[in-house]
């Protein structure tokens, strides 16, 4: 099944080493290693029948490689978010030109203050969107997103986050009713109707896999998750994301797929 035709990524900047981190995965990123890993990430995506727009690094924003957060792209419209981290808020202005290559102005919506919303808190399942209420996404952000989606015949529901940074840190949809879940998401009633694949605690980071046109890209070094995904029948590719993990970033964070 082909669902995505386009991908947008942004190259890591040298200031990546100063990006935001919770310290959950200790150590500063190695910039040169991060570049090589990003090359491999782009290479994996290129094997999934998509065209890839590669944006240049932006030294003003250390976390700007995580291009998923300042925008949300649906089949009907693009939404420029309003990131909740002050050091990242300006990224929303730098993603607009790339979005305009694919959407006319009347299909580009905006989340505006006092609302905050980051794309990492939003998970698309068909025409329904789950949005996590987090330190980066507030009630007003969820309200504005719900109103925007309803204009285009799509729906939205809130998921309370208790432990993780972003919703997709711990839960990701793989299409065909399959969903990877870890930690607090294992027992949340929001996802009771899906075929849930529970991720073991010691591989929780790998709950953040991405489905791209029937291929699932899995973080390298998580054998239980890789095996579980393969047993579901998906073609798999692995990419080392160790340097981005140090900034709490995962596979979904580094691209916009539409």
Mean pLDDT, rounded, of the chain: 97
Q: What percentage of the chain carries pLDDT values higher than 90?
A: 97
The per-residue pLDDT for 165 is 85
Query: Where does the pLDDT of residue 164 fall: very low under 50, low under 70, confident under 90, or very high at 90 and above?
Result: confident
CA distances, 146 to each of 79, 104, 152, 157 (Å): 12, 21, 10, 8
The pTM of the full predicted model, rounded to 2 decimals, is 0.97
Q: Which two tokens stand for residue 34?
A: 């991060």
In the three-class reduction of DSSP (H, G, I as helix; E, B as strand; rest coil), residue 253 is classed as helix
Write the pLDDT tens digit of every residue in 103-147: 999 999 999 999 999 999 999 999 999 999 999 999 999 999 999
Instruction: Kindly report the number of other CB atoms within 10 A of residue 3's CB atom.
Output: 14
The per-residue pLDDT for 208 is 98
Distance (Å, whole) CA 27 – CA 4: 34
Residues taking part in catalysis:
166, 253
Instruction: Kindly report the number of other CB atoms within 10 A of residue 197's CB atom.
Output: 19
Query: Where does the pLDDT of residue 217 fall: very low under 50, low under 70, confident under 90, or very high at 90 and above?
Result: very high
Contact 179, 171 (CB under 8 A): yes
**CA neighbor of 229 nearest in space, from 210, 213, 247:** 210
Select from 3.75.10.10, 3.40.50.2300, 3.30.420.10, 1.10.150.120 the CATH code of 6-257.
3.75.10.10
The per-residue pLDDT for 255 is 98
Contact 191, 179 (CB under 8 A): yes
């Amino acid at each position: 099944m082909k669902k995505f035709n386009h991908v947008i990524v942004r190259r890591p900047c040298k200031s990546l080493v100063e990006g935001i981190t919770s310290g959950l995965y200790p150590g500063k990123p190695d910039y040169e290693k991060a570049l090589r890993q990003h090359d491999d990430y782009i290479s994996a995506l290129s094997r999934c029948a998509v065209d890839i727009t590669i944006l240049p690094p932006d030294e003003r924003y250390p976390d700007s490689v995580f291009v998923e957060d300042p925008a949300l792209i649906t089949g009907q419209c693009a939404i420029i978010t309003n990131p909740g981290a002050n050091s990242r808020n300006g990224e929303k202005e730098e993603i607009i030109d790339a979005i305009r290559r694919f959407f006319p102005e009347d299909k580009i919506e905006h989340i505006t203050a006092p609302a905050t919303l980051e794309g990492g808190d939003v998970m698309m399942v068909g025409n329904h969107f789950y949005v996590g209420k987090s330190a980066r996404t507030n009630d007003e952000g969820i309200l504005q997103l719900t109103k925007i989606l309803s204009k285009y015949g799509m729906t939205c529901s809130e998921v309370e986050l208790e432990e993780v940074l972003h919703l997709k840190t711990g839960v990701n949809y793989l299409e065909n009713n399959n969903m990877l879940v870890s930690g607090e998401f294992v027992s949340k009633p929001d996802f009771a109707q899906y075929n849930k694949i529970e991720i073991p605690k010691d591989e929780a980071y790998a709950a953040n896999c991405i489905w791209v046109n029937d291929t699932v890209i899995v973080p390298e070094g998580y054998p239980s998750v890789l095996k579980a995904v393969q047993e579901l029948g998906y073609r798999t590719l692995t990419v080392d994301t160790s340097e981005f993990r140090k900034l709490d970033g995962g596979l979904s964070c580094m691209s916009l797929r539409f």
